[in-house]
Each structure stands twice: as structure tokens, then as C-alpha cells.
Amino acid sequence: MAKKKTEKAAATKYKPLTPAIIAEMEKIVGRQYVIHSDAEKLEPFSHDEISEKEYAHMPDCVVRPAAAQEIAEIMKLANREMIAVTPRGAGSGLSGGAVPVFGGIVLLCDRMNKVIEFDKANMTITVEPGLVTNEINEIVRPAGLFYAGYPMSLETCYVGGNVAENAGGGKAVKYGVTARYVLGLEVVTPKGDIVQLGGKLVKDVTGYDLIHLMVGSEGTLGIFTKIILKLMPLPKASVDLLVLFRTPDEAIAAVPEIMTKSGIIPTAIEFMDRLSAHAACKYLNETLDYKDAGAMLLITVDGPDEQQVMQQYEAIGEQCLAAKAIEVYVADNHTTSERVWKVRRNIAEAFKVQSPRQSLEDIVVPIASIPKMVAGLEELSRKHDCQIPCYGHAGDGNLHATPVMNPKWSDQQWHDRLEQILVDMYKLTASLGGTISGEHGIGHKRKKYMPLVCQAAFIDMMRAIKLALDPNCVLNPGKIFDC
Amino acid sequence: MRIIVPMKQVPETNAVRMDETTGTMIREGVEAIINPLDLYAIELAIRLREARGGEVVAVSMGPPKTISALKEAIAMGCDSAALISDRSFAGADTWATSYVISAAIRRIGDYQLIICGERATDGDTGQVGPGIAAWLDLPVASYIGKLESIDEKSCRVHRLVEDGYEILDVALPAVLTVVKEVADPRLPTLRGKQKAKKTDVPTWGPRELDVKPEYLGLEGSPTRVVKIFKPKVARQCQKFTATDEAGVKQAVEGLVKFLAGKDLI
């Protein structure tokens, strides 16, 4: 490990950390908030939720600042000494965005986890980046409000990471993704300046929209130290429908009809193909009669009162039955709702029983192309003799196709085959007008596949922006594209 | 065959919080659901009806909002339901509750089987099912994990006991209280929900039921809840730490002695 690290460092312009630099950082944030020279303590910061070891890289040190000023000083130090800085939230990412691929400093924002202001009159909340996303809703719910950003990992992930990745999740059909709710940011720039962007304004065209340049920049353009989020009125009622179809085609064909014919935009429309749904049901000992189900949709509707939600789910349910659904199950309380969502949430776990090696993908296609994508994935699965369960957010075309290692393969075979599978999958996605990541981001996991879906001119444009803000390329280098 | 399922609406237990000062449950803002064990009773009843014909009637005593639990039971597949609700029933203990429910069951009449969940997750007494049997003077079989067979006159059931199962032949009509193994509950369907919406659920009070006023509610209850408190956790933890080779040996000996002292090895 140590040897590999020096080789890599030698091949880059980044300098190793010296005791003097570490001492300087200890002076900035306090001695107890700098972790270094202890491989066991540093290891958790060498990877995110991707289980494949090849995407991991050890940091040289982890710094835990408590204020924007401290981060600014660290950035100035990093520029002066040419040291890579990788910002990190809860580490629940799925693209390697928080992995320090050039070693150096991991800048952990876990201590910056305060609510700065809950402004009921303006329906906003101002928070620090290390706050767990779920806690926002715990705080604002009593006031009849809610934060609509809903990544599936909401009980662990930090809001700073959500903004950096422009997290999507299950409720994007109705509520959109994180970007829609970011009204303002305080950002420490790569050079170490502290900049205020936006505020509590619903409308603001004063200059370039730099907020939305920052949102989804994967920690390459700035470090957020304050985030102003827009809140929505809390829906009073919510109902889930678990709908069984004979084939994925029938299930997917029902999706646009649900919206156009009933005139209702559901909160969530989750899709599970036969492989995913059956594996999860079996794993959970679910006794519903699912044997004839070739696909399932999990549809959520919410609204201001029970009556309205009931009308909506009835209309959607009828639409599904008209679209040849086998059965429509209704879950309108905690017990039954948990039961149906468990199926969706346990797919990845169910496949880990078969093989712990899998590659959770994040492709997104225009919704009308989903049936073609699903059919194409089945063909890929046959071609490569590899199971590719496919599930995800059917309402927005974002599919988590997940190649699972054939247990007969060696590690090397898996490595080589996966490469071919991913290239095939991404090419197919591109041919359907789709792209390689809907909500997980590019990081370094998907960087090399960018040319499959992006023009060179687009990548050049991003690089020009990056170099304008970060001329030394010290902030999260090696992500999205090479600078 | 007419099967009656007495059931209860309870607070969703995941969401239950206790008031630290009074020691009582905070019910405000907590979702109400069908008592989870009653779902198994409902499922068994529906399966018997599907196999043998007849009807399933759900009954529940509680405040007017209990109607949502009864509608959910109809959505699952019960044929009809009745709500037992009146101010005079409020505060009833298990004796008074089973008395009123048995009166409702008499009113429905012509039943062969009464199936209850073994107990409710809020009160946790397990007394109402057997209480109903006592008031109606019927045989009762509790902790039923399996119904093996049934005909017009009797049923054969497996009763969960500490070291296995008792297999009983029970003459009908009878009361069964069931545990989780008996049948996995189904989910309500859209068609079920629509049927439930249209089904009229009558509310019965003292006027509709043949009951003695002095047996009703808190006043008619022979038992009282005097105090609710959190039990102290009497966990006695003993740590055997070791820092070196000799220490490990000592720690192991200590652990063996401790376990032997408790008759655990």
C-alpha cells in the first residue's frame, strides 16, 4: 500500500505532507481535529459506499474544521504547498467523489452540523453542510413544513454532500432534485476566499447563476459552509401503491399514462424488474402472491388531505388496472407502507447474498425509452452471462442497473467483463438519448466513460471553469475530468 | 360459516413516545393502525371463508375514528363490520370490554367461529379473547399457530406451548386466539379499498346492544390502572478485562466461575 502511494504521488504534481504542514493545520483547527500517521484511523476516509477496493485511496491526513475561516486558511495552505484537498460529508456517495485519489488532505465537515437559522416566515432553513439530511425534517415538521430533497440514504447522508452531488432520489418525479431547493450558499473557493451566493430569494437573476454551478460540482469548485434551503408545506397524507405487472414493458408503458391520463404527478414511481423484485421478496420472505409478476411499480402519492390523496390513488390505480396490471395493493399506514418500501430498499442487500461484488449503476434515459433500455439490459445480461437486476426511479428515467458478479468468475474475469458490460451499457444509454449518471455523480468511478456521452467541447468548457477558479487544481482533483 | 373477528385499533408502536412525568403514552399525532396480531386473525378468517364459503364480520370497540381500522379489515377481505362506540363504554377494562364485545357478537348471531389476535400491542393483556369466550360460554383455544382442519362441528388446531405444540380438537362454535405463525396477512387491494369505502359500517351503542349499564366503561370495570411506570432494567454486567497473557487466563477463569455461579454451564 505504502509503495503504491509513493509511486502515485511521484507521478503527480502534488507534494507530500510534511510535519511542518501538519503542525500548521493543527494550529488552524486544533490538534485533536487532525488525524494523521495512523492507517487504522485514516482507512474509513479512503473510500465511500462503493465496495470495490480499486476505487479506494488512503488520505495522508483528515482535518475536521469547524468554521468557514478555518477552511479558507486550509485552502490557502494547500495552494501554497501544492497539496490536494478532498472535501467529504458522510461518505455515503456512490461515485468516489469523496475519495482522496491523490492522497493529501481529506476535509471532513462532520463538525459543521448546526442549524444556523430556521426562518418560518420565509419558509427557509439555513444549515451547515455536516447536518444529517433527515434531521432537517425532524426540525421543520412541527411547523407544518418539509424539505423535499430525498436521497434514499437520508438517514446517514449530510446535506453538504447532497448539494455537492445534486442528489435526487425517490421523490424527484414530483419534487425535483436538490438543486431546486438551494436558494443560497456560502462557499469557500479553492483559493481560500469566502463568497456569499444567493440568499432567501425565490427570484434572482443578478449575474450568473453560480449557485447552480456549485450545486452538483462534486466538491471540485468550492466547499459549502452555509446552505440556505427552501422548504415546502408538509403533505398531510401519503399513500403507496404496489402494482404488479406481467412484463416490464407493460409496467413501463403504464408510467406516462399514469401521468397523462390521470393528470396527476405522483411523488414517486419506482420500478423493479422481475429479477430485482423476486430477489427482494424472497430475501424478505414476502408472502404476497408475486410469482406471476414480471415487474413491479411502487407509486407514492401525497397531498394536503386524505380525501384528495384517496381520489388520486384511486385514479392512478384504475389507470394501472386499465394498463393490464395484475394487482394493485394499497398501503396507507406505517405498517403496510414499510412492508412495500422494504421490497424496493432491500434489492441491493438481496443480491449481496448471491455475490458481494456488484456495480451499482445510475443510468438515466428519457422516460419513453425505458422499455428499450430494459430490453437492452436483458440482452446484455445474456451476452455477458451476468445478472443485471434493474430497478430505480421509473418516473424520471433514472435506472439503477446493477451488474452482479457471476459467482463462477475469478476477480480478474469480473474486472475485465465489468469493463465491457459498462461500455456496452453506456453506449446503449447514449444511443437512447440518455447519460451515465442521474444522481450519483461521476467522481473518478465514471470519469473515463465521459467521452461516451459528452462532447469534447463540453469537457473543455468545464475544465476552463475549473482552472479559472482553481488554477493549481488542489480542490478534489481527479474527479469528473482530468485538469 | 360465519366467522367473527373482534379487533382493536392501536397506536403505531414505532412512533410511541412516553410522557416522562405522567408515565402515560402520548397519543397525539401518533398514527392508529390495526393491532398487528389481529391482522393474523383477519387473514385466517378470510382464508377459511375463501376455502369454505360463508362470511367474515369484523367488530371493534373504540372511539369513532376506529372506523378506519374496520374499513381496512373490509379492504383486506372481510365482508362486513360493526363499530361498538359510545361514551359510556370509555375506560373499560378487559372484563367490561369483553362483556360489551360479547353482546355485539350475540347481536350478530349465528356464528361458528370467533377469531381474535392473541393480544393487543398497547394493553398487552391477552385477556379479551378468552373473556369473550367466558361471557358467551364457549370453548376457547389460545395461542393457536395453525388451524389444521375444520368441519361443521369442530376444528383441529395447533396450540403453541412452551415446549412445542398441543394439538386440540375443539367443538364449534368456539373462540380461537391466534399467534403470528397462523397466516401471513395480505395487503389490501385497490378493489378492496373501493369496496370498503362503499360499505356502510353501523355504530352500536348501549341502545343497540343488550347490556347492563352497571357493567359498562370505567365505572363498570372491576380493575383499575393505578400506575404506569417504566420497569427498571436490572441488567447486571460484569466485565472481565485482560491486558496480557496471564490476564486472559484470569479473565477466562473469572467468566467460568461467574457462569457456573448462575448455573449457566
Q: Which residues of B touch A337 (CB under 8 A)?
A: none
Q: Which residues of B touch A340 (CB under 8 A)?
A: 187
CA distance B65 to chain A (A): 14
Q: Which residues of B touch A335 (CB under 8 A)?
A: 12, 33-34, 36
Q: Which residues of A touch B76 (CB under 8 A)?
A: none
* Residue A118 at interface with chain B, using a CB cutoff of 8 Å: no
Confidence of residue B15 (pLDDT cuts 50, 70, 90): low
> What pLDDT score does B25 carry?
66
Of A328, A334, A335, the CB nearest to B189: A328
Lowest mean pLDDT among A253-257, B16-20, B118-122: B16-20
Percent share of chain B, pLDDT over 70:
96
Rounded CA-CA distance B66/A398 in Å is 41
> What pLDDT score does A5 carry?
44
Q: Is B187's CB within 8 Å of A314's CB?
A: no
Q: What is the pLDDT of residues A360-394, one digit of tens each?
A: 999 999 988 888 998 999 999 999 999 999 998 98
Of A318, A330, A339, the CB nearest to B189: A330
Amino acid residing at A367: I
Consecutive H or E run containing B241: none
Among all residues of chain B, which has the CA nearest to that of A236?
Answer: B29
Q: Is A327's CB within 8 Å of B194's CB?
A: no
Task: Phi first, then psi: give them for residue B91, nearest 5 degrees.
Answer: 80, 10
Rounded CA-CA distance A301/A318 in Å is 14
Q: Which residues of A touch B186 (CB under 8 A)?
A: 288
Of A242, A331, A333, the CB nearest to B31: A333
Lowest mean pLDDT among A140-154, B15-29, B173-187: B15-29
The residue ranges of chain A whose pLDDT is under 70 are 1-11, 153-154
Q: Which residues of B touch A342 (CB under 8 A)?
A: none
Contacts of A44 (CB under 8 A, 6+ apart): A91
> What pLDDT score does B17 carry?
72
User: Coil, strand or helix: which one is A21?
Assistant: helix
Task: Find which of B193, B195, B197 to mutate to test the A interface (most A CBs within 10 Å of its CB).
Answer: B193
> What ranges in chain B are assigned the alpha helix state H?
36-52, 67-76, 94-108, 128-136, 190-198, 217-220, 245-261
Of B184, B187, B194, the CB nearest to A329: B187
* Residue A138 at interface with chain B, using a CB cutoff of 8 Å: no
* Residue B195 at interface with chain A, using a CB cutoff of 8 Å: no
Rounded CA-CA distance A430/A422 in Å is 12
* Residue A315 at interface with chain B, using a CB cutoff of 8 Å: no
Q: What is the pLDDT of residues B53-107, one digit of tens each?
A: 999 999 999 999 999 999 999 999 999 999 999 999 999 999 999 999 999 999 9
Of A318, A329, A334, the CB nearest to B188: A329
Q: Give the mean pLDDT of chain B.
A: 92
Consecutive H or E run containing B170: strand B164-171
Take residue A394 and report the three cell numbers written for it: 421509473
Q: Is B31's CB within 8 Å of A334's CB?
A: yes
Q: What is the pLDDT of residues A76-99, one digit of tens each?
A: 999 999 999 999 999 999 999 999
Among all residues of chain B, which has the CA nearest to that of A325?
Answer: B190
Rounded CA-CA distance B57/B72 in Å is 13
* Residue A244 at interface with chain B, using a CB cutoff of 8 Å: no
Helix A370-384 and helix A411-431, axial crossing angle in degrees, nearest 10: 150
Label residue A32 exposed, middle or buried (CB < 10 Å: 0-12, 13-18, 19+).
Answer: exposed
pTM of the prediction? 0.85
Percent share of chain B, pLDDT over 90:
75
CA angle A55/A58/A62 to nearest 5° reads 125
Q: Is A242's CB within 8 Å of B187's CB?
A: yes
CA distance A95 to chain B (A): 34
CA distance B62 to chain A (A): 19
Whether residue B24 is predicted with pLDDT greater than 80 in this model: the reply is no
Question: How many C-beta neighbours within 10 Å does residue A339 have?
Answer: 18
Q: Report the 3 state secondary structure along chain A.
A: CHHHHHHHHHCCCCCCCCHHHHHHHHHHHCHHHEEECCHHHHHHHHCCCCCCHHHCCCCCEEECCCCHHHHHHHHHHHHHHCCCEEEECCCCCCCCCCCCCCCCEEEECCCCCCEEEEECCCCEEEECCCCEHHHHHHHHHHHCEECCCECCCCCCCEHHHHHHHCCCECCHHHHCCHHHHEEEEEEECCCCCEEEEECCCCCCCCCCCCHHHHCCCCCCCCEEEEEEEECEECCCEEEEEEEEECCHHHHHHHHHHHHHHHCCCCCEEEEEEHHHHHHHHHHCCCCCCCCCCCEEEEEEEEECCHHHHHHHHHHHHHHHHHCCCCEEEEECCHHHHHHHHHHHHCHHHHHHHHCCCECCCEEECCHHHHHHHHHHHHHHHHHHCCECCEEEEHHHCEEEECCECCCCCCHHHHHHHHHHHHHHHHHHHHHCCCECECCCCCCCCCHHHHHHHCCHHHHHHHHHHHHHHCCCCCECCCCCCCC
Domains of chain A: 2-110 (3.30.43.10), 115-233 (3.30.465.10), 237-348 (3.30.70.2190), 355-438+449-453 (3.30.70.2740)
Evaluate the CA torsion angle A26, A32, A38, A44 in order and state its sign: negative
Take residue A166 and report the three cell numbers written for it: 445534486
Q: Is B33's CB within 8 Å of A287's CB?
A: no
Of A310, A314, A330, the CB nearest to B188: A330
CA distance B189 to chain A (A): 4
Q: Is B188's CB within 8 Å of A336's CB?
A: yes
Domains of chain B: 2-220 (3.40.50.620), 231-265 (no CATH)
Cell 428515467 -> residue: A397
Per the rule left: phi > 0, alpha: psi between -120 and 50, beta: everything else, A433 is left
Of A330, A335, A340, the CB nearest to B36: A335
A239 with A301: CB under 8 angstroms?
Answer: yes
* Residue A183 at interface with chain B, using a CB cutoff of 8 Å: no
DSSP code, position A204: -
Give the DSSP letter string of B172-183: SSEEEEE-GGG-
Task: Find which of A334, A340, A341, A342 to mutate to test the B interface (most B CBs within 10 Å of its CB).
Answer: A334
Q: Which residues of B touch A241 (CB under 8 A)?
A: 190
Whether residue B219 is predicted with pLDDT greater than 80 in this model: the reply is yes
Among all residues of chain A, which has the CA nearest to that of B197?
Answer: A310
CA distance B229 to chain A (A): 27
> What pLDDT score does B228 carry?
75
- Which of A216, A225, A227, A236 has its CA nearest to residue A146? A236
